[in-house]
Chain A
Amino acid sequence: MAAEILRLDGLSKSFFGVEVLHAVSFALHRGEILGLVGENGSGKSTTMNILGGIHQADAGSITLDGRPYRPTGPRDAQEAGLAFIHQELNLFENLSIEENIFISGFPRRLGRLPLIDRGRIGQRTRELLDMVDVRYPPATPVGKLSQGERQLVEIAKALSQDARIILLDEPTTSLTRRETEKLFTIMERLRAQGIALIYISHILGDVLRVCDTIQVLRDGHLVGGGPRDEMPIDTLISLMVGRKIENLFPPRDTEPTTVPALEVEGITQSGVVRDVSFTLHEGEVLGVAGLMGAGRSELARILFGLDPFEAGRIAVGDTTLTEVSPEACMRHGMAFLTEDRRGEGLMMEATIADNTALPSLRAYARSLTGWIARSRLEDDVAEVSRRVQINTTDYRGMLVKNLSGGNQQKVVIGKWLLRQPKVFILDEPTRGIDVGAKFEVYKIVNQLVAEGTAVLFISSEMEELIGMCDRILVMSHGEITGIHERHEFDSERILETAMLKNLADVA
């Protein structure tokens, strides 16, 4: 085995007196890719944050190249040769791609002048963007990029630092399959150069494919680990969740009806979507597949009245919406889970209960005075929160910002469940959620359709779409390029449809 480069020894960390990491120890070697897996909130990001200098450990030590390493800030980590891709995107929308990549250390003109060497950063950025396959001029503002493209820029940024160790905390959440493959190629190349990587992901298949070693965290304890070959998937899962999971997708025993719940006709908004029409039925899960930037999220936002559209008709049940706004859509029983949990889905500074109650407040208020029936509301909030299995019961006290990503996602789902939606639009509902939690989300979706709810399921994970949907609608460049029925599901063919427009363009 190659030389050891990094060693964690008995790391512990508490937040507000609650210990989230308990004496975690493992080692990382040159030219090794180490996979770190575990359920939501098991402490993966916290471990990375300690390595990256964002948090300081309460106990334990780290050795880097045989010397003690105790970073007090991200700068220290950078200088020690660690690059860090955070779980949440860490880019500045108001700056260009090149500026984002070099923000922590711009090359200067003539060495001494405090002026940015634009020529050099432009050149270097182009090279880096080529590596990750992003075709934008380096001076493009990051605000113009889609989530997936931003994630690629984030990766390019880590590459730019010529680091010896790269930490990747769920880097593929917004990437398509193809881009993920691209990332893996890059990772393998880095490994060949002797760089060490730590890779965190909930997609166990990926972890098993690229990682040499795998470590498993559960509730802040390191519960197992070893070379990939000794860690088959069922071992991993049972280590992670402490029990065996038979099926990735829960069985569904209801059939979709033919009663239309949402009818969309000719929705067009220039530059975004063109002539989109489909019908979603009660009790049906309709998947939406597509490559990154296909316009799926935009379509969802239009349907929920968040973005304008030029032409087309939207009908819920048998009423055509005359006004399309979130309020009007909600009145007709629609609900929308956005893909940007942090920016749009949650009030991070508020409690679980407040977040959950927000869309339903009107239903718990006297119509004239708006006086809230508090105890009834709190009871229902607690019930919904239990149903989505948030890992705390302090619904009225716990701030959402202190929850792990997966549990935050459960809060967003819970807040819409409280409204008992008839049409539920889910945009990437399982992004950043562990296997166990995913299973829970799927179960909730199944329950909902069993009660007659219609679900529009937008996802970039093909297996998930195939496992969950009754039909899959494929989008490419803002247009629907195909609809696949359940019996003809086939990931190859769906991918082909998703790239249809691109092929046509080339031809």
Chain B
Amino acid sequence: MLRTAGASGNAATRTAGGVRTRGWLERLILSEYLVFYLTTAYFLAVWPIVPEIATASSLSNMLTDMLPLLVVAIGQTFVLIVAGIDLSVTSIIAFASVVGASVMTADGGYLGGSPLAVPAGILTFLLIGGLIGWFNGFCCTRLGMPPIIVTLTGLMFLSGTAIWYTTGHSETSSIAGLPKAFVLIGQGSAYGVPNALWVALAVGISAHLLLGHTVFGRWLYAIGINRKAAEISGVPVGTAILWTFVISGVCAAIASILFTGRLETGTPVLGQRILLDIIAAVVIGGTSLAGGKGKIVWTVGGVLFLVVIDTSLKLLGMSLFVVFAVKGGVILFAAIIDAMRQRIIMRG
């Protein structure tokens, strides 16, 4: 693990060599797990107002609600660490959803009814995510285009294409009739644990290990901090960045599998509205948009934070504008906390 990641949190206390002791508030604000404390505090605050939030089924709903979001956010974390950004993830979710569904659907799918339908369908999802990610990465590294432009164009193009593709495969606006076995990935459970959770755990743990314990992970942080220095130090910068986009694409595709499964439908507008949520979650967690800083655990915290707030607002039956304003307020609040944190560090 690159130390820089935690450095913002620890540098001050460390250089002080334990000479200075900080107040509990300062320590709390400096903690790199602040977002978890905030989530807990918020949860405890709304509990008396909507007691339903603490019921077992509500908690399990919250858990399953956050999983697909978490998986995309994990992919995004990789891209942000190298100072990139991937705005195409939601369109990958949508596009993979309809293409994958068109392979599996019982009403006229390419492999509809065949026992191969599900494995081939899943493979389609992953391939689409990987290929689009690869294409994004290719444009950003080999052609030197800015990631925001590449992926923004991808977003617009793929969203359109997803709708166009659907009209070619379905009378309605979406593709239904998905095999039971596939739907179970998004809905079912094994050993009392939702399948989606198994999937998210697998993705999360591999991502965590990849970032923290491998050469590839260290390269990514190095590229994020100083790309030129990384290049001169023999880091295959282009290839590494390309892979972050592939990872992001594949994560989006996995999220798409979960979303598509839970809605039992391949739809071309899937996930369209969650783009900013994804990026906000990662950044609230503490990953820097400027690159070089980020952790999977932080992202988990960021997603959890957003989902808890979202759920509470849903349970409160809040109107749309309240939801918007509260979300904005919360993000601003997170920003203020982060700024305070910087101040304290600077003060030394």
Contact = CB atoms under 8 A, between A and B. Distances in A.
A503 interface: no
Interface string B187-229: 0000000000000000000000000011110110110011011
Given A17-B15, A338-B232, A344-B228, A351 B215 contact: no
Given A16-B11, A16-B12, A354 B233 contact: no
Nearest to A15: B348
Contact of A354 (B4, B215, B216, B231): B4
Given A344-B228, A399-B11, A327 B2 contact: no
Interface string B1-38: 01110010011101111011000000000000000000
B85 interface: no
A403 interface: no
B3 A345 contact: no
Interface in A393-431: 394, 396-397, 399, 415
Nearest to B226: A347
Interface residues of A, number: 39
Contacts of A357: 218
B144 interface: no
Interface residues of B, number: 34
Contact of B292 (A18, A327, A349, A397): A349
B236 interface: yes
A284 to B, nearest CB: 24
Interface stretch (A85-93, A270-278, A367-375, A469-477): A367-375
B230 interface: yes
Given A17-B16, A359-B233, A346 B226 contact: yes
A354 B348 contact: no
A359 B219 CA distance: 10
Contacts of B17: 17
28 contacts: A16-B16, A16-B348, A17-B19, A17-B348, A18-B15, A306-B231, A326-B232, A327-B236, A343-B229, A344-B228, A347-B226, A350-B4, A354-B221, A358-B218, A358-B222, A358-B233, A359-B234, A361-B215, A369-B214, A370-B214, A370-B215, A371-B214, A372-B214, A372-B215, A372-B218, A397-B3, A397-B15, A399-B4
Contact of A345 (B20, B222, B229): B229
Contact of A358 (B20, B235, B236): B235
Nearest to B8: A349
A344 B216 CA distance: 20
B321 to A, nearest CB: 40
A448 B259 CA distance: 59
A357 B2 CA distance: 10
Interface of A: 14-18, 304, 306, 326-327, 330, 336, 338, 343-351, 353-354, 357-359, 361-362, 365, 369-372, 374, 394, 396-397, 399, 415
A357 B234 CA distance: 12
Contact of B232 (A345, A371, A374): A345
Which 9 residue pairs of A and B lie closest in terms of their CB atoms, listed nearest first?
A370-B214, A347-B225, A16-B15, A359-B233, A330-B234, A370-B215, A16-B348, A351-B3, A361-B215
